[in-house]
């Protein structure tokens, strides 16, 4: 976009460049032009960021956009609108669409559609196996050329150890990363919530922590064998965090992400059969939650990603055991994550890093920084603003959130995409 | 405020008169739980002392009330026990205080779920007036004209007496 | 005491409410033994029994309970309902609720069915007649009535429950009732049939049936669904299950002469209970069935009733015309 934009007097935090200062941010022709004092300059557009945090546009590396195939739940446009409303300017969409992102045509179609919408960068994650059926590898090089930034069968695990080994070896040959939805289905079959005291009281089948841990343990050994890059999606158990911590200590290329609900909520949310607190992996115990928080603190968990999973209310309004897995996350990512800063777990800069430069580094994206010359993707938020979350006011088509009616602290005030203000004062600007 | 309207002596005399009117060779007495059952017990004692053969029964009309929509069922329901084979017999239905008549209506309903007596007669210790149904006692121990809203109670802890409670004092309870 | 609006489970009832329902149930036993088995308590009330799972005895028990209290009772079973045409549980519930029944009695394989529906059916009292592996409150109230008639009170007694605890709504409801009423539950099963962290109910956990028997005041045998369990590797064979966890005459002797046997039915002879024991206990188990009707009458009456009256300080509490002012009066 041509023209100049001055973001005045904000608390600029750019973890990639170690910047943490109150200053002005100058944007010219859609690119970052500089950080400093621009007193006396005459910008085409001015945003006063006094008292607010100015940071690189957020990156959510784990999103379900549902297009193509389930557009009644979400589509690329509605998902992009929800993203910028949550301060997200780049997101990765998972391949469990219909058809799946298991061939280049679908990836190209998604990228093209996202460019047309022109609100948020959309980077597809390619499928590891054709039809996500865990048997034959996809054409990863071709998918990569079509825009895929990593590979996963998310929603489903790559359960077959032999296929997983080959997937890791093949992807490593080209420097690709495999993202695993770690769930041993033989242990979680029929489960709706974490296995434990809560599942016993509800009389609902549980999903044991061992279902997640055992697959991650296996995968870490395979990662070592294949000398590959392995990323654990939505880590949720104490055991899994410890496995990843030890693997990283050994120098393996193992990384992981945590979803806000797994570090903010526990299985208690499902008491009363609340299907808006049902997701996979499920909300776990307080001990697991604390372990995820500790993993974020000590750096074992480098990334915060939402696993944004919009569903139609019909898919949730049928009782806990029958309800679909997943909650929406794009619009609650920042306020929920700010809790970590308020609790002293992370500095503001470290929290922002987990949603900007860290995922950018893992995925090889240019975004996630305020370096001069970079695309001017910027998020401005008021860390202290309080508001009541009303599911009906969510921008996403999905209204499935456990935070309905809850008080949130921290609110995105402006989202800027390549120099253009795409969200401000609660309104998305097409 | 509560005040005694009939003392022990008056109550004893009244039950004696009732027994005089009821006595015969064989009588069937059915008391309504719980006050009526107590009066029926007292009558039974007197009648048996005079050589009358008494067939006793008790009714709990809780399940026959007409006001389930406003109050919950009574948790302390006593089982109803009716004398064997009262078909074709005359039954004395006994209650302590007759007010609106609704209890009696419920009791009649329950009796006919058990069988078909030749006749049902009603004997009450106190008839306080204020009937809301075309029900009249065949035998009354004591007559009293009470204001609507106040409560007339047979007190059976110790020597029996009958007291009147004003609505205000009932609320204090 | 708080008025009971719905009956989802034992979890939602106070000790006082449980005793209220059991005591009322006891008084209905007599009504069921009359030659004319009908009281007008629920005249003009409509009760719908909506059963998504097959159940002859629970459905019949609810049906008789409603009819003996003069309610109009409709039975709907899943095979004849609209669910086979793809209608959702919620739509079925809302459709039936729109016909203005007072009570909807529901059995469904989905745990939490009543909790789920209650949110959308504000004007209908819901009774859980068994929801998945969650709760089966009227079965437990039935058992408590049987125990009241046998022991007076279950307080301080030890009830040993044996079988597929993991999938048993009866077991969960009993474990909750035990905590509220002060009796001890011993659960007996192989680990494959126990749910996670069962000990948090405050029960004693045994894998050895013979070790659990001494001191038991009652042995409660759960029905084992053999087809489901051998498929999921819960136990290797019926033969081995019966040997380890089946009740036979020899085991019953070990429990002591006063130990009673309970079974929610229907019995699986040769699996959880040997025929010799089953036959000798028939009368007792049939007693439980009789109590089931009485307790369900109490539940229906309680749900159709209005507010509880303030407790009177008059200990005599004579039920005269006079006392019932503004109510029966």
More confident residue, A287 or B130: A287
Based on the domain organization, do C112 and C147 belong to the same domain?
A: no
Number of domains chain C contains: 2
Q: What is the dihedral of CA A50, A53, A59, A65, to 10 degrees?
A: -60
Residue pLDDT, tens place only, B74-124? 666 677 788 777 888 999 999 999 999 999 999 998 898 888 899 999 999
> Does residue C232 fall inside a structural domain?
yes
pTM of this structure: 0.88
> Does residue A383 fall inside a structural domain?
yes
Tell me, what's the pLDDT at C3?
87
Based on the domain organization, do C112 and C144 belong to the same domain?
A: no
Q: Is A162 touching C (CB cutoff 8 A)?
A: no
Lowest-pLDDT choice from A165-169, A356-360, C44-48, C265-269: C265-269
Comparing CB atoms, the residue among A199, A319, A320 nearest residue C196 is: A199
Arithmetic mean of pLDDT, C188-205: 96
Tell me, what's the pLDDT at B75?
62
Residue pLDDT, tens place only, A82-122? 999 999 999 999 999 999 999 999 999 999 999 999 999 99
Tell me, what's the pLDDT at B169?
53
Tell me, what's the pLDDT at C319?
37
Based on the domain organization, do C111 and C199 belong to the same domain?
A: no
Based on the domain organization, do A309 and A248 belong to the same domain?
A: yes
- Interchain CB contacts (distance < 8 Å): B and C: 147
Based on the domain organization, do C124 and C147 belong to the same domain?
A: no
pLDDT at C291 over 50: yes
Tell me, what's the pLDDT at C82?
53
Based on the domain organization, do A44 and A74 belong to the same domain?
A: no
Based on the domain organization, do A77 and A213 belong to the same domain?
A: yes
Tell me, what's the pLDDT at B172?
39
Tell me, what's the pLDDT at C308?
64
A350 is a catalytic site residue:
no
Do A109 and A134 contact (CB within 8 A), yes or no?
no
Based on the domain organization, do C213 and C131 belong to the same domain?
A: no
Based on the domain organization, do A73 and A175 belong to the same domain?
A: yes
Q: What is the CATH number of the domain that holds A143?
A: 3.20.20.140
Based on the domain organization, do A344 and A229 belong to the same domain?
A: yes
pLDDT at C139 over 60: yes
Based on the domain organization, do A107 and A214 belong to the same domain?
A: yes
Tell me, what's the pLDDT at C241?
92
Tell me, what's the pLDDT at A35?
96
Based on the domain organization, do C155 and C80 belong to the same domain?
A: no
Those residues of chain B that have pLDDT short of 70 are 74-77, 168-173
Q: What is the CATH number of the domain that holds A49?
A: 2.30.40.10
Based on the domain organization, do A69 and A17 belong to the same domain?
A: no
Chains A and B, touching by 3 or more CB pairs within 8 angstroms:
no
Tell me, what's the pLDDT at C33?
87
Based on the domain organization, do C218 and C274 belong to the same domain?
A: yes
Based on the domain organization, do A292 and A391 belong to the same domain?
A: no
Q: Which residue segment(s) compose the domain that C190 sits in?
A: 137-287
How many Å lie between the alpha carbon of C169 and the closest alpha carbon of chain A?
Answer: 7
Return the residue of B nearest to C297 by Cα.
B63
Which residues of B fall within a CB distance of 8 Å from C28?
63
Based on the domain organization, do A27 and A149 belong to the same domain?
A: no
Which residues of A fall within a CB distance of 8 Å from C172?
200-201, 203
Residue B66 φ/ψ, nearest 5 degrees: -105, 15
| DSSP run (H or E) holding B27 | strand B26-32
For residue A179 the two structure tokens come to: 């993202």
Q: What is the CATH number of the domain that holds C159?
A: 3.40.50.1370
* Sheet hosting strand A150-152, strand order edge to edge: A58-63, A88-93, A121-126, A150-152, A177-180, A229-232, A253-258, A303-304
> Does residue A9 fall inside a structural domain?
yes
Mark yes or no for CB contact C112/A320 under 8 Å. Answer: yes
Annotated binding site of C for carbamoyl phosphate: 57-58, 107, 136, 139, 265-266
Could you give the CA distance from residue B98 to residue B129 in angstroms, rounded to a whole number?
Answer: 7
Residue pLDDT, tens place only, A209-242? 999 999 999 999 999 999 999 999 999 999 999 9
Could you give the CA distance from residue A333 to residue C178 in angstroms, rounded to a whole number?
Answer: 44
pLDDT at A296 over 90: yes
Q: Which residues 67-96 in chain A show a CB within 8 A of chain C?
A: none
Residue pLDDT, tens place only, C316-328? 333 334 333 333 3
Q: Per-residue confidence at C279, pLDDT binned at 50, 70, 90?
A: confident
Task: For A246-279, give one letter per residue: b (16+ CB within 10 A) or e.
Answer: ebbeeebbbbbbbbbbbbbbbbebbeebbbbbbb
Tell me, what's the pLDDT at C311?
42
Q: Per-residue confidence at C282, pLDDT binned at 50, 70, 90?
A: confident
Arithmetic mean of pLDDT, A40-67: 96
For residue A136 the two structure tokens come to: 């034959």
Do A101 and A418 contact (CB within 8 A), yes or no?
no
pLDDT at C313 over 60: no
Provide the phi-psi class of A125: left if phi over 0, else alpha when psi is between -120 and 50, else beta.
Answer: beta
Number of domains chain A contains: 2
Based on the domain organization, do C128 and C145 belong to the same domain?
A: no
The predicted complex's ipTM stands at 0.88
More confident residue, C324 or C26: C26
Tell me, what's the pLDDT at A300?
98
Q: Per-residue confidence at C147, pLDDT binned at 50, 70, 90?
A: very high
Cα-Cα-Cα-Cα dihedral sign, residues B3, B8, B14, B19? positive
Based on the domain organization, do A295 and A254 belong to the same domain?
A: yes
Mark yes or no for CB contact A200/C134 under 8 Å. Answer: no
pLDDT at C127 over 80: yes
Based on the domain organization, do A236 and A353 belong to the same domain?
A: yes
> Does residue C3 fall inside a structural domain?
no
Helices (H), C133-214: 137-151, 169-181, 209-212
At which of A363, A388, A419 does a domain end? A363
What's the mean per-residue pLDDT of chain C? Answer: 87
Residue pLDDT, tens place only, A307-339? 999 999 999 988 899 999 999 999 999 999 999
- CB-based contacts of A39: which residues, under 8 Å, 6+ apart? none
Domains, in order of start, for chain B: 9-67+78-146 (3.40.50.2020)
> Does residue A327 fall inside a structural domain?
yes
pLDDT at A2 over 90: no
> Does residue C124 fall inside a structural domain?
yes
Say whether A307 counts as a known binding-site residue: yes
Q: Which residue in A190, A198, A199, A200 has the most chain C C-beta atoms within 10 A of its own C-beta, making it the best mutation to test that interface? A: A200
Do A163 and A132 contact (CB within 8 A), yes or no?
no
Based on the domain organization, do A39 and A67 belong to the same domain?
A: no
Tell me, what's the pLDDT at C321?
40
Based on the domain organization, do C154 and C258 belong to the same domain?
A: yes
Q: Which residue segment(s) compose the domain that A423 sits in?
A: 4-54+374-428
Active-site pick, A14, A24, A288, A307 = A307
Based on the domain organization, do C84 and C148 belong to the same domain?
A: no
Tell me, what's the pLDDT at C47?
97
> Does residue A369 fall inside a structural domain?
no
Share of chain A above pLDDT 70, in %: 100
> Does residue C116 fall inside a structural domain?
yes
Tell me, what's the pLDDT at C307?
66
Tell me, what's the pLDDT at C83?
56
At which of A334, A363, A392 does a domain end? A363
Based on the domain organization, do C113 and C175 belong to the same domain?
A: no
pLDDT at A157 over 80: yes
């Amino acid at each position: 976009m041509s023209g100049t934009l001055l973001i005045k007097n904000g608390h600029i935090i750019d973890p990639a460049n170690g910047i943490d200062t109150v200053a002005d941010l100058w944007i010219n022709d859609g690119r970052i032009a500089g950080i400093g004092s621009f007193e006396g300059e005459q910008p085409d557009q001015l945003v006063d960021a006094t008292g607010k945090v100015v940071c690189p546009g957020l990156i959510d590396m784990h999103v379900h956009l549902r297009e193509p195939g389930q557009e009644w739940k979400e589509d690329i446009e509605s998902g992009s609108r929800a993203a910028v409303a949550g301060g997200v300017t780049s997101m990765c969409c998972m391949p469990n669409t219909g058809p799946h992102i298991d061939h280049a045509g679908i990836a190209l179609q998604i990228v093209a559609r996202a460019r047309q919408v022109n609100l948020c960068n959309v980077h597809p994650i390619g499928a590891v196996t054709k039809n996500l059926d865990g048997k034959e590898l996809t054409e990863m090089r071709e998918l990569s050329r079509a825009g895929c930034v990593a590979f996963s069968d998310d929603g489903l695990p790559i359960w077959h150890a032999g296929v997983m080994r080959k997937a890791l070896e093949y992807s490593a040959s080209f420097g690709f990363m495999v993202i695993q939805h770690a769930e041993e289905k033989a242990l979680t079959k029929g489960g709706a919530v974490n296995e434990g005291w809560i599942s016993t009281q509800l009389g609902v089948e549980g999903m044991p922590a061992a279902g997640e841990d055992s697959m991650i343990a296996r995968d870490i050994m395979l990662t070592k064998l294949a000398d590959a890059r392995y990323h654990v999606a939505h880590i949720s158990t104490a055991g899994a965090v410890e496995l990843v911590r030890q693997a990283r200590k050994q120098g393996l290329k193992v990384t992981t992400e945590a979803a806000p609900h797994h570090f903010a909520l526990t299985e208690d949310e499902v008491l009363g059969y609340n299907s808006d607190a049902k997701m996979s992996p499920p909300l776990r115990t307080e001990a697991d939650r604390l372990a995820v928080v500790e993993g974020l603190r000590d750096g074992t968990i480098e990334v915060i990603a939402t696993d944004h999973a919009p569903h139609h209310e019909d898919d949730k309004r049928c009782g806990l055991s029958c309800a679909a897995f997943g909650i929406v996350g794009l619009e609650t990512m920042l306020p929920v994550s700010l809790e970590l800063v308020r609790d002293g777990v992370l500095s503001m800069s470290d929290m922002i890093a987990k949603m900007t430069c860290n995922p950018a580094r893992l995925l090889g994206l240019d975004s996630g920084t305020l370096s001069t010359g970079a695309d001017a993707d910027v998020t401005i938020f008021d860390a202290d603003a309080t508001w009541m979350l009303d599911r009906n006011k969510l921008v996403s088509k999905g209204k499935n959130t456990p935070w309905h009616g809850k008080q949130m602290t921290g609110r995105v005030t402006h989202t800027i995409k390549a120099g253009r203000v795409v969200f401000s004062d609660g309104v998305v600007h097409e | 405020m509560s005040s005694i309207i009939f003392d022990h002596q008056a109550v004893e005399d009244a039950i004696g008169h009732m027994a005089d009117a009821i006595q015969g060779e064989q009588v069937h007495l059915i008391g309504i739980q719980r006050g009526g059952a107590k009066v029926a017990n007292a009558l039974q004692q007197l009648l048996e002392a005079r050589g009358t053969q008494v067939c006793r029964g008790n009714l709990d009309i809780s399940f026959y009330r007409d006001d389930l929509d406003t109050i919950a069922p009574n948790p302390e329901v006593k089982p109803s026990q009716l004398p064997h084979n009262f078909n074709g017999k005359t039954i004395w239905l006994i209650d302590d205080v007759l007010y609106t008549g609704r209890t009696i209506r419920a009791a009649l309903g329950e009796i006919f779920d058990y069988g078909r007596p030749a006749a049902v007669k009603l004997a009450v210790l106190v008839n306080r007036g204020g009937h809301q149904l075309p029900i009249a006692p065949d035998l009354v121990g004591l007559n009293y004209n009470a204001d609507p809203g106040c409560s007339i109670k047979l007190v059976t802890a110790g020597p029996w007496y009958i007291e009147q409670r004003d609505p205000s004092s009932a609320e204090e309870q | 005491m708080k008025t009971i609006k719905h009956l989802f489970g034992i979890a939602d009832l106070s000790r006082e409410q449980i005793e209220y329902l059991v005591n009322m149930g006891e008084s209905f036993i007599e009504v069921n033994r009359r030659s004319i088995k009908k009281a007008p308590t629920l005249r003009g009330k409509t009760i719908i029994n909506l059963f998504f799972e097959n159940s002859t005895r629970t459905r019949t028990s609810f049906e008789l309970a409603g009819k003996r209290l003069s309610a109009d009772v409709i039975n709907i079973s899943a095979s004849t309902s609209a669910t086979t045409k793809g209608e959702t549980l919620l739509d079925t519930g809302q459709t039936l609720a729109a016909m203005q029944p007072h009570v909807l009695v529901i059995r469904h394989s989905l745990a939490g069915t009543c909790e789920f529906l209650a949110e959308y059916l504000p004007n209908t009292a819901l009774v859980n007649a068994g929801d998945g592996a969650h709760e089966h409150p009227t079965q437990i109230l039935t058992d408590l009535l049987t125990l009241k008639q046998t022991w007076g009170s279950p307080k301080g007694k030890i009830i040993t429950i044996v079988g597929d605890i993991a999938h048993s709504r009866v077991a969960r409801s009993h474990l909750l009732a035990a905590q509220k009423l002060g009796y001890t539950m011993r659960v007996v099963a192989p680990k494959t049939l126990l749910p996670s962290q069962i000990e948090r109910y405050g029960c004693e956990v045994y894998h050895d049936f013979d070790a659990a028997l001494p001191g038991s005041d009652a042995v409660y045998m759960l029905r084992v669904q053999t087809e489901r369990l051998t498929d999921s590797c819960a136990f290797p064979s019926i033969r081995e299950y019966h040997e380890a966890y089946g009740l036979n005459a020899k085991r019953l002797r070990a429990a002591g002469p006063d130990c009673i046997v309970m079974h929610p039915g229907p019995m699986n002879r040769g699996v959880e209970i040997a025929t010799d024991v089953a036959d000798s206990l028939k009368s007792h188990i049939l007693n439980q069935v009789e109590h089931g009707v009485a307790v369900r009458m109490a539940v229906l009456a309680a749900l159709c009733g209005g507010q509880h009256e303030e407790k009177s300080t008059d200990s005599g509490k004579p039920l005269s015309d006079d006392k019932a002012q503004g109510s029966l009066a």
